[in-house]
Amino acid sequence: MKIAIMGAMPEEIEPLLSYMNDIKSYELADNRYYEAKYKGIDVVLAYSKIGKVFASLTASVMIQHFKAQKLLFSGVAGAINENLKIGDLIAATKLCQHDLDITAFGHPYGYVPEGKVYIESDKELLFLAKNIAKTKGIDLKEGIIATGDQFIADPKKKEWIKNTFSADALEMEGAAVAVVCDAFDIPFFILRAISDAADMDAGFDFDKFLEKSSKISADFIISMLDEMV
């Protein structure tokens, strides 16, 4: 069994690498990938760079080249559900692309022919995560994560995404990873730590809380690996 672990930025992967052994680095497709061991589990790690295209490319390389059989994503997101606060963990039950729009042809937002508006996360991995959270006394939230190639700062746009997709959090990679995993029939799990809350200016505290939130998310992913061992 080989597990892929992704983030979008170096800050989201660095905490995970600190747990790994026998790390080997590879340059491929204009990115860096790390093969490593964690308590006997084969792991491949990478940060994709920001956005859906890079996320799709990285997930595809992990699955096709490195032969990953499951994929875990660790990172941060912005909240659009007012019940989510900074530092909260949210596991995606399903994901959508809020910036996908061919409504001019009579289709709903987030949909293209032969595609899906929502892609559901793997139920077994979600079940595992919920059990870990219960054991550790962590209040793991669940919800819909909306992905787009935009950093959304406009409160009206946030409200539109929330209402249109019943979304709880915003980020820029998750749904793209979900599309790739769904196409290759690879179980996946997307975990985000909230780095900015719904009632804040979108850019106000991002840099300040990125490192802390990334560490929270990474530690939970490691707990999932422990259970897989």
Q: Of 35-39, 108-112, 121-125, 204-208, where does mean pLDDT reach its minimum?
A: 204-208
User: What percent of the chain has pLDDT above 90?
Assistant: 82
pLDDT tops 70 at residue 201: no
**H/E element, 44:** strand 41-47
User: What is the dihedral sign for C-alpha 124, 139, 91, 101?
Assistant: positive
| Residue 199: pLDDT band with limits 50, 70, 90 | low
Whether the pTM exceeds 0.85: the reply is: yes
Tokens representing residue 65 in the block: 């080249």
Asked whether 56 and 6 are in contact (CB, 8 A), the reply is: no
pLDDT value at position 11?
Answer: 87
Q: How many CB atoms lie within 10 A of CB 28?
A: 12
What is the reported pLDDT for 215? 82
Q: Which of 139, 142, 196, 201 is catalytic?
A: 196
C-alpha torsion sign, points 98, 101, 103, 108:
negative
Can you tell me the mean pLDDT for 193-206?
65
CA-to-CA separations, 77 to 60, 63, 123, 161, 213, in angstroms, rounded: 22, 24, 21, 14, 9
Residue 196 bears catalytic tag = yes
Query: Which member of 12, 168, 171, 173 is catalytic?
Result: 12
Asked whether residue 6 carries a pLDDT value surpassing 60, the answer given is: yes
Count of alpha carbons within 13 Å of 22, Cβ hemisphere only?
A: 10
Domains, the chain, ordered by start: 2-228 (3.40.50.1580)
* pLDDT > 80? residue 167: yes
